[in-house]
Amino acid sequence: MLTDEQIERYSRHIMLKEVGGKGQQRLFDGRVLIIGAGGLGAPIALYLAAAGIGTLGIADADDVDLSNLQRQVIHFTPDVGKPKVESAREKMEAINPAVQVKTYKEWVNAANIADIIRDYDFVIDGTDNFAGKFLINDACVLAGIPYSHGGILQFDGQTMTVKPGESACYRCIFPEPPPKDAIPTCSQAGVIGVLPGVLGTIQATEAIKFLLGKGELLTNRLLTYNALRMKFREIPLKRNPACPVCGEHPTITEVKDELDALTVCDLKN
């Protein structure tokens, strides 16, 4: 039952027929994990806390660096040197003290990801490297947990939502990481600061819609965005019967670390 304070706080949600009091309660009962407290994770964490998602997990082993502040809007100048998960938690709780924030100051890998994701309804990929993206996809598909993929570089971004058993997964489209040195890193090529804000808010929207059970999720569709041309493009997808993790004869039956996968952005991006 929502309190009077919560009814006032979420009043603009509650007046929406797609949300209402029952929908807001579903959000408060929801559990979402954000992997990565950087460019994508920053707006995701802020908006989900503001929306009243009752339990939010955030995982990242890095500390705030001065070069992060151009785009990672959840971290402020006095936070430089502080663990990103603690910096993020402080801002999330300041926006909404009723939200429970669980922090994981560790790199998510094959040894710990199953234990971390198991208690969540929805996972959001805010990582900056291919190894993380393939790991999250495989772990979520094998565990049957829906998740949102996001990626950014320079002026371009992409996102899609995966519902295991119902939609195409990341490996349906990209069966394996690209060859080393095939794509420049963000530290080599750069990234416009506002780009993760655009993609991150889309990912946060997907989490909210999933918990509400309303609207159409970004499943079987890859949404791409170019900031210079201000153009969105939707690419239709379908499940790949030969997918190594969700196909008819899967060869990946347990998570593993892609140790040779190319890092898209260095760890401070």
Distance of alpha carbon 170 from alpha carbon 104, whole angstroms? 24
Q: Is 217 a member of any domain?
A: yes
Q: Would you call 235 helix, strand, or coil by DSSP?
A: strand
Distance of alpha carbon 222 from alpha carbon 157, whole angstroms? 10
Domain around 67: 4-236
Q: Is 196 a member of any domain?
A: yes
User: 182-187 long-range CB contacts below 8 Å, 24 or more apart?
Assistant: 182/262, 183/153, 183/262, 183/264, 184/153, 185/263, 185/264, 185/265, 185/266, 185/269, 186/128, 186/152, 186/153, 186/154, 186/264, 186/265, 186/266, 186/269, 187/265, 187/266, 187/268, 187/269
Q: Is 133 a member of any domain?
A: yes
Give me the tens of pLDDT residue by residue for the chain, a chain 269 residues long: 889 999 999 999 999 999 999 999 999 999 999 999 999 999 999 999 999 999 999 999 999 999 999 999 999 999 999 999 999 999 999 999 999 999 999 999 999 999 999 999 999 999 988 899 999 999 999 999 999 999 999 999 999 999 999 999 999 999 988 776 666 656 677 899 999 999 999 999 999 999 999 999 999 999 999 999 999 999 999 999 999 999 999 999 999 997 654 443 333 33
Q: Is 165 a member of any domain?
A: yes
Distance of alpha carbon 258 from alpha carbon 40, whole angstroms? 21
pLDDT at 176: 87
Q: Is 263 a member of any domain?
A: no
Q: Is 246 a member of any domain?
A: no
Instruction: Record the pTM.
Output: 0.94
pLDDT at 129: 87
Cβ contact 217:160 at 8 Å: no
Q: Is 259 a member of any domain?
A: no
Amino acid in position 199: L
Cβ contact 157:186 at 8 Å: no
At residue 113, φ and ψ (nearest 5 deg) are -65, -40
Q: Which helix (H) or strand (E) holds 59?
A: strand 55-59
Measured N-to-C along each axis, helices 41-51 and 195-212 cross at an angle, to the nearest 10 degrees, of 40
At residue 101, φ and ψ (nearest 5 deg) are -110, 120
Instruction: Say how many domains are in the chain.
Output: 1
Q: Residue 202 sits in a domain of what CATH number?
A: 3.40.50.720
